[in-house]
Each structure stands twice: as C-alpha cells, then as structure tokens.
Chain A
Amino acid sequence: MTKDECKNAVIAIISDIAPDEDLSTLKPDVRLRDQLQLDSMDFLDIVMELRKRHGIEVPEADYPKLASLDSCAEYLTPKFNSLAAKS
C-alpha cells in the first residue's frame, strides 16, 4: 500500500463517521481537528473502524500520530504493509 492509498483509507473512514463534513478540500499537512469538527468520540471511532475494517490496532499512546492525514499515512502505512505481508 502506498501512502496515498493509506490516506484514502482514512478518508473513507472519516466520510462514514462524519458524512456531514466536506472532505474534498482536506489539507494533508494540517491537523484534522483544525479542519473538521471532530471530537474525541469521533477519534475513538476512527481507531475502532481501523481495527474493524483493516485489523489495525492503534494503542492509546499513539493516538497523537493520527493528527493529520500525513501523520496518519506515516504511521499507518507500515502497519497496513506488514499486515499484508503476513496474510
């Protein structure tokens, strides 16, 4: 998986969690919280959807790594790839 594909996977999750947000103009290097109305309940859902859809575990200590799309891609792409390698 490329970093762009990883970003798209995250965007797909956010669009299901917060369908009322406009995601077409998201800036990858800006914190998601600063561009979208996302509260802590929504972040919990991003983490849980990652587990449900992709089998990816994000420990609570790593939540800050999901701050922006870029940081998501940085943190999650290796996880996606190592899961793909195992299967």
Chain B
Amino acid sequence: MKTGAHFDVVIIGAGLSGLAAGIRLAHFGKRVCIFERHNAPGGLNSFYSIAGRKFDVGLHAVTNYVRPGVKGTPLGRILRQLRLDREELGLCEQRQSRIAFGPRGDVALRFTNDFSVFESEIARVFPSHVDGFKRLVKRVRETAFAPEAPPVSARTVVGEHVRDPLLADMLLCVPFFYGSAQENDIEFGQFVMLFQAVLLEGLARPFEGIRPILRLLVDKYRKAGGERRMGCGVRSIVARGGRAVALVLDSGEEVEADHVLSSIGAVETEALLADGDREEMDRDRPVPGRVAFVETMAIFDREPAQLGWGRDTTVFFNDSERLAYAVPEGQVDVRSGVVCIPNNFDFGPDRRLPEGILRVTCLANYDRWSGLPEGTYAADKKRWYGEIQASAGRFLPEADLRATAAATVATDMFTPRTVERFTGHRNGAIYGSPTKSLLGRTALSNLHLCGTDQGLLGIVGSMLSGITMANRHVLSRTEG
C-alpha cells in the first residue's frame, strides 16, 4: 500500500537521539518524520504510569553536567545545536555519590560534581596509587574522539596506570554500569566518554525527571515543523541499489525517503532489511548485546534519608573481591549494582520530590527471564525485589529495612523482558551491541545509525549522537 508520502529524512524511534536529530533536520528545512512504535516518546529513557504515579525508566541522572560558563563540553554543544536555553532543562545538581566496595562497602570513594573531591578521596584511600591515577586522568583528558581507531581495552589501559586491582575495579565500575555493552570490559574511547561524563563533569537531574526533557524536545521538534507518527513502528526497509528507498510501516503503508536514521540498534535495524540487502555488507555484522539489568523502584511516603538511606545521590556497589560485570548464571547478580536516590539531588531549599524514591539496578540474565510463564515471572520479580533491596542496604549502613518496608507505598521492577518489550532492544540489552559504529554506517549508503549503537552514551550523549549523525550524514552534504 502506497500513500505517496515522501520525506527528506525519516527517523526510526522517538528516543532522545531521534528527537535531537529531528530537531536539527526540521530546523534547517528538511521534511522529516519520526516513526515510533510506542505511544510515549523516550525509548530507553522514558516513563510510565501505574495508578497515576509516574515512574522514570532509564534516567538515573543527566551525566555531563557542567555549570554555566563552562564551554566546549557535550552539554554546551547540545544546548547550542538544539537552540535550547540551559534554564529550560532545569538541571539540579547531585549532592554526592559513592563507589563503595567490600562486603559492607568499607572501601569507599566519594565523588561530587567537583572533580577535586574525587582526587582527594583517591589520595586518602589509595595514597600509593595517586601518581598512577593522575597519569590515567591525563591520558583520559588527552584522548580525542577517534571514530576510526581500532578498539582498545579499557581494562588494559586502566591496569597499565593503576596497579591496584581494587582501585582499577572501582574506576571501571562507573563506566561499566552506566554504559558498557561488553562483559568485564569497555572500549577505551567509551570509558573516556563515561569517565568524563560522570566523574570529570557530573550528575544532575530536572526536578520532574525525564519528562520535562522529553516535553522540551518534542515541543521544539514540532515548532521546527517536524512530523511525528506515534504508535506506528517500522516493519521493514525497502532497498534498491545499495540505498534505502522506502519504509514499510506496521500499518502496511509505505513511505519514501532520501535518508533514513535509525535509533533502534544495529542488529535491530539490520533485521528490517531483506536477506539479500544484509548480505551485501562487506564488513563485520553487528552482534547483539547480552548485558542486561533489572531495576527495582520503591516509593516511600517520606524522604529516603528519613529511613536511613542517607544523602548519596548514587552508590555504585560491589561486595566481592573482584568486580564481575557479566551476565550472571542465575536471574540476577545482587553482588554489585547501582543505587539511585532521586530525592538526593539538590532541588533548592524549598523544593522536595512529593514522595521518596529508591532505585536499585543489578545485572540480570535475559534468558532466565524471557521464557517464564506469567505466574512464575511475577513471583520471581517479587522474590528478587527483596533480595536486591537487602543487598543494596548493606552499602547504606544506616538503612532501616523494616521501617523502609513500612513506609513503602508502591513498588515496581523492570527486567530484561520489560526492556525488550518496550524498547525492542534484543535481549533487553539497554546498552545495545558490544561493537559500536561511531560513524553510524550500515549496509546501505543512506541508512545510518544514531543512539545507543552509534556509541555516544548517556542522556546528553544520546542527544549528541542524533545531532552529529544528522550533521554528518544529512546536513553537511550540499545538495541541489
């Protein structure tokens, strides 16, 4: 079925990268349409409601936070490129976070949005490794974005500078949990990006979480003249002569386009191509990711601090001698993970979130969740919810689990199965494929990736991904 619709650019997925790309393209007069299978925008950083209560998925914090006046960083770049006023994002800074290792988190490194705090923590806890740490930081600062360089193991580079395996694990765990699609390692360029985003720059959050960011982007896109079809996914991509020529929508409708940007993942995009088009590829085929997570969300009738959960915004924890960032044998690995307490951003003296929120993220095994019958699935979620919260509680030693249970007014938990269902990412792998395509290339010359599998990470990174792919592959090409 043809409708005759023709666009300069079509974008698959209304997540942060797709919306950012759309804003750029529409602003410069391209006729652009975003197709999103779900009814809500946001993709991997979205939200949902249960009984009138909004839950964010994805966003723990906006990384890459820098204060006004700091220029030449990713946050400044997205503000300029999307013509956003930083006030519109309403970012509130974190109070403090920790990396806590050991059975009760005895070895802890505090970090804030002031990097010197982290440096002095390293000097306090690992005095004989300060020089190695400084050399590593220097290397990080000097590493330029090099999309065509061969991949380098971050574990190897960190190990060359930091001889203490405990400190090396502590430094690796933040980039791992906030963006690694590989088990027990991460490509060094990606490590640099995440180390910069979280530790050299910092964490912040809009008061209302992800929703105001999405509203802002959707609004900007609409005002720039961009079109959007929600609840309308893409079933396949029609190719001719090595180029994408049209999209077949879930409805059976066909729309033509000069360029296609896909934010849905490398493997997921390839699956939209006919077999013959896929096989024309003369490069390595993308590999599906396997690293997946569960996350518990608890809502309290008071601030988590009143239940002993303290003032930390995030806590990266691990109880074992070595950090195992890998797909667990069982359903969940509670030995390590990330605690996020959204109440512990600094919203100013007169503003508090209406309820307490505690989120805990742990590694999970997709296969052990995907095939379960409904009853077992619900029972397993319930069981793991308790184990995850108890495990996280060890790293916030004042946490009163009994009082916490009494103050809990709602809970929810997402699993790799939830992620796959709502985002379409294979295996529920939120960080996508372990091999990234920084230039966004695919089998077809006018089909490019943006978002997770292009490889810029985090909230700001994903927007920058959409921006750079729109610039590079569409806007910088001068056409008639």
Residues of A with Cβ closer than 8 Å to B? 16-20, 37, 39, 41-42, 44-45, 48, 51-52, 57, 59-60
Known: A20-B71, A37-B71. A42 touches B28 (CB 8 A): no
Contact of A17 with B475 in the complex, beta carbons under 8 Å: no
Interface residues as binary, B456-469 with A (CB distance below 8 Å gives 1, 0 otherwise): 00000000000110
How long is the Cα–Cα vector from A57 to B479 in the complex, in angstroms?
Answer: 11
Interface check B120, CB cutoff 8 A: no
Which bucket holds chain B's interface residue count? 20 to 34
A84 → chain B closest CB, angstroms? 21
Q: Which chain A residue shows the least CB distance to B85?
A: A19
Stretch from B11-19, B72-80, B239-247, B287-295 that touches the partner: B72-80
How long is the Cα–Cα vector from A44 to B467 in the complex, in angstroms?
Answer: 12
**Which among A19, A20, A37, A41 is the interface contact of B81 at CB below 8 angstroms?**
A41
Q: A45 to chain B: which residues have CB within 8 Å?
A: 80-81
Q: B28 to chain A: which residues have CB within 8 Å?
A: 48, 51-52
Q: B471 to chain A: which residues have CB within 8 Å?
A: 41, 44
Q: A18 to chain B: which residues have CB within 8 Å?
A: 80
A79 → chain B closest CB, angstroms? 16
How long is the Cα–Cα vector from A37 to B79 in the complex, in angstroms?
Answer: 14
Q: A41 to chain B: which residues have CB within 8 Å?
A: 77, 80-81, 467-468, 471
23 example contacts (A-B, Cβ-Cβ < 8 A) are as follows A17-B80, A18-B80, A20-B69, A20-B71, A20-B76, A20-B80, A37-B71, A37-B72, A39-B72, A41-B77, A41-B80, A41-B81, A41-B467, A41-B471, A42-B80, A44-B471, A44-B476, A45-B81, A51-B28, A52-B27, A52-B28, A52-B29, A57-B478
How long is the Cα–Cα vector from A41 to B74 in the complex, in angstroms?
Answer: 12
Q: B76 to chain A: which residues have CB within 8 Å?
A: 20
How long is the Cα–Cα vector from A19 to B81 in the complex, in angstroms?
Answer: 11
Interface check B83, CB cutoff 8 A: yes
> With contacts A20-B80, A37-B71, A42-B80 known, what are 13 further pairs, Cβ within 8 A?
A16-B83, A17-B80, A18-B80, A20-B68, A20-B69, A41-B77, A41-B81, A41-B467, A41-B471, A48-B475, A51-B28, A57-B478, A60-B478
Q: A59 to chain B: which residues have CB within 8 Å?
A: 478
Pick the 3 closest A-B CB pairs, nearest first.
A37-B71, A48-B28, A37-B72
Q: Which chain A residue shows the least CB distance to B27?
A: A52
Residues of B with Cβ closer than 8 Å to A? 27-29, 68-69, 71-72, 76-77, 79-81, 83, 85, 467-468, 471, 475-476, 478
How long is the Cα–Cα vector from A52 to B85 in the complex, in angstroms?
Answer: 21
How long is the Cα–Cα vector from A18 to B83 in the complex, in angstroms?
Answer: 8
Q: Which chain A residue shows the least CB distance to B475?
A: A48
Q: B475 to chain A: which residues have CB within 8 Å?
A: 44, 48
B78 → chain A closest CB, angstroms? 10
How long is the Cα–Cα vector from A51 to B477 in the complex, in angstroms?
Answer: 13
Q: Which of B28, B77, B80, B471 has the most CB of A within 10 A?
A: B80
How long is the Cα–Cα vector from A49 to B77 in the complex, in angstroms?
Answer: 17
Q: A44 to chain B: which residues have CB within 8 Å?
A: 471, 475-476
B235 → chain A closest CB, angstroms? 33
How long is the Cα–Cα vector from A7 to B437 in the complex, in angstroms?
Answer: 40
B216 → chain A closest CB, angstroms? 16
B439 → chain A closest CB, angstroms? 16
How long is the Cα–Cα vector from A52 to B204 in the complex, in angstroms?
Answer: 35
How long is the Cα–Cα vector from A44 to B471 in the complex, in angstroms?
Answer: 8
How long is the Cα–Cα vector from A57 to B72 in the complex, in angstroms?
Answer: 27
Q: B77 to chain A: which residues have CB within 8 Å?
A: 39, 41
How long is the Cα–Cα vector from A8 to B467 in the complex, in angstroms?
Answer: 27
B359 → chain A closest CB, angstroms? 33
Q: Which chain B residue shows the least CB distance to A37?
A: B71
How long is the Cα–Cα vector from A40 to B467 in the complex, in angstroms?
Answer: 13
How long is the Cα–Cα vector from A1 to B468 in the complex, in angstroms?
Answer: 34
Q: Which chain A residue shows the least CB distance to B468?
A: A41
Q: Which chain A residue shows the least CB distance to B467?
A: A41
How long is the Cα–Cα vector from A59 to B477 in the complex, in angstroms?
Answer: 10
B30 → chain A closest CB, angstroms? 11
Q: B68 to chain A: which residues have CB within 8 Å?
A: 20
Q: B71 to chain A: which residues have CB within 8 Å?
A: 20, 37
How long is the Cα–Cα vector from A20 to B78 in the complex, in angstroms?
Answer: 13
Q: B69 to chain A: which residues have CB within 8 Å?
A: 20
How long is the Cα–Cα vector from A77 to B71 in the complex, in angstroms?
Answer: 31
How long is the Cα–Cα vector from A41 to B76 in the complex, in angstroms?
Answer: 12
Q: B79 to chain A: which residues have CB within 8 Å?
A: 20
How long is the Cα–Cα vector from A73 to B71 in the complex, in angstroms?
Answer: 27
Q: A39 to chain B: which residues have CB within 8 Å?
A: 72, 77
How long is the Cα–Cα vector from A30 to B478 in the complex, in angstroms?
Answer: 28
B148 → chain A closest CB, angstroms? 17
Q: B27 to chain A: which residues have CB within 8 Å?
A: 52
How long is the Cα–Cα vector from A41 to B68 in the complex, in angstroms?
Answer: 20
How long is the Cα–Cα vector from A37 to B71 in the complex, in angstroms?
Answer: 7
A27 → chain B closest CB, angstroms? 19
How long is the Cα–Cα vector from A74 to B79 in the complex, in angstroms?
Answer: 31
A49 → chain B closest CB, angstroms? 9
Q: B29 to chain A: which residues have CB within 8 Å?
A: 52
B81 → chain A closest CB, angstroms? 6
Q: Which chain B residue shows the least CB distance to A59?
A: B478
Q: B83 to chain A: which residues have CB within 8 Å?
A: 16-17
